[in-house]
Amino acid sequence: MIDHYDWAGGREAMLRFGPDHGPVVVLAMPLFEEANRMRSLATTLLRLLADEGIGGALPDLPGAGESEKSLEEDSLSTWQVSFSSAVCAATSGRSGHVAGLRGGCLVTGSAAARSRWLMSPVGGEAIVRDLVRARQAADREAGAVFDPGTIDLDGPPIELAGHVLPRQLLRSLRTAEPDVAAPCRVIRLDSDRRPADRHIAGAPLWRQSEPGDDPALAATLAADLAQWVRQCAG
């Protein structure tokens, strides 16, 4: 179901899944192009949760998805505030839990929820580094050179990997880390040996050149998340 949520900066779209009672999981999508590559996985995950009797919500952040706002108007704090508002709207009187995929984990920390569940959380510095590498690769093909040091200078937004981004957003992302304070469960792929509560098999869809899906991975994630929600609710 297509729904919406209101926040201090306006109104954004939010997809709703599953029953309108009982626990509900609000999912934060990855940032920038990774969101396109993982949207199918995210919606499959929430539909599987719905089959387990657990509600789900997938809000658009300002400047992302179907949002009418421009990324040039965004900041990390804007995303955090808007996501917190989405959680309040989606949970209203219900047992609320938040989940994050990759860079989406950077916006979940301040949301009021019973628990957090993070899949492959990544620091903002790595996200900015990938954006810079994409810009540098494109500039090399065009015979130009991009200096990442310009991010630290005052000036207009910078185009990176097809996105026009304010420098303050990039600077705040570079120092941002996911909040893993308890109660929080962290899931990573087998190929990522950083600390986690569980490592699972699967391909990193966020690295693919085109959007994709992995039903087996989605099923594994949904089962793990459903068990975590029930554990925290009990």
Same structural domain, 65 and 112: yes
Shared-domain flag, residues 113 and 203: yes
- If asked whether residues 39 and 110 sit together in one domain, one would say yes
Q: What is the CATH number of the domain that holds 25?
A: 3.40.50.1820
Q: Which two tokens stand for residue 77?
A: 């704090």
Residues 113 and 136 in one domain: no
Arithmetic mean of pLDDT over the chain:
94
Q: How high is the pLDDT of residue 234? A: 65
Domain boundary at 136, 160, 175, which?
175
Residues 181, 218: one domain?
A: yes
Query: Which residue has tokens 């941002």?
Result: 176
Alpha-carbon distance of 98 to 84, in angstroms, equals 10
Residue 199 shares a structural domain with residue 151: no
**How much is the pTM?**
0.95
Domain of residue 75 covers 2-123+177-233
Question: What pLDDT is attached to residue 60?
Answer: 96
Report the distance separating Cα 33 and Cα 64, nearest Å. 10
Total count of domains within the chain: 2
Residue at which a domain ends, from 155, 175, 195: 175
Q: How far apart are CA 105 and CA 194, in angstroms?
A: 16
pLDDT digits (tens, 9 = 90+) for 49-77: 999 999 999 999 998 888 888 888 788 99
Last residue of a domain, one of 157, 175, 193: 175
Residue by residue, what is the 3-state secondary structure of the chain?
A: CEEEEEECCEEEEEEEECCCCCCEEEEECCCCHHHHHHHHHHHHHHHHHHHCCCEEEEECCCCCCCCCCCHHHCCHHHHHHHHHHHHHHHHCCCCEEEEEEHHHHHHCCCCCCCEEEEECCCCHHHHHHHHHHHHHHHHHHCCCCCCHHHHHCCCCCEEECCEEECHHHHHHHHCCCCCCCCCEEEEEECCCCCCCCEEECCCCHHHCCCCCCCHHHHHHHHHHHHHHHHHHHC
CA atoms within 13 A on the CB side of 191: 6
Q: What is the pLDDT of residue 164?
A: 93
Task: List, for the chain, all residue ranges whose pLDDT scores fall below the cut of 70.
Answer: 234
Q: Are residues 136 and 171 in the same domain?
A: yes
- What percentage of the chain exceeds 70 in pLDDT? 100
Q: Is residue 190 located within the same domain as residue 93? A: yes
Half-sphere exposure of 15 (CA within 13 A, CB side): 17
The one-letter amino acid code at 19 reads P
Q: Tell whether 77 and 192 lie within a shared domain.
A: yes
pLDDT at res. 185: 98
In terms of phi and psi (left: phi > 0; alpha: psi -120 to 50; beta: otherwise), the region of 99 is beta
pLDDT at 66: 83
Nearest by Cα to 121 from 95, 151, 91, 100: 100
156 CB-contact burial (10 Å; exposed 0-12 / middle 13-18 / buried 19+): exposed
pLDDT at site 150 = 92
Together in a domain, 150 and 171 = yes
- Looking at the structure, tell me whether residues 138 and 58 fall in a common domain: no
34 and 46: one domain? yes
**How far apart (Å, rounded) are the C-alpha atoms in residues 165 and 87?**
25
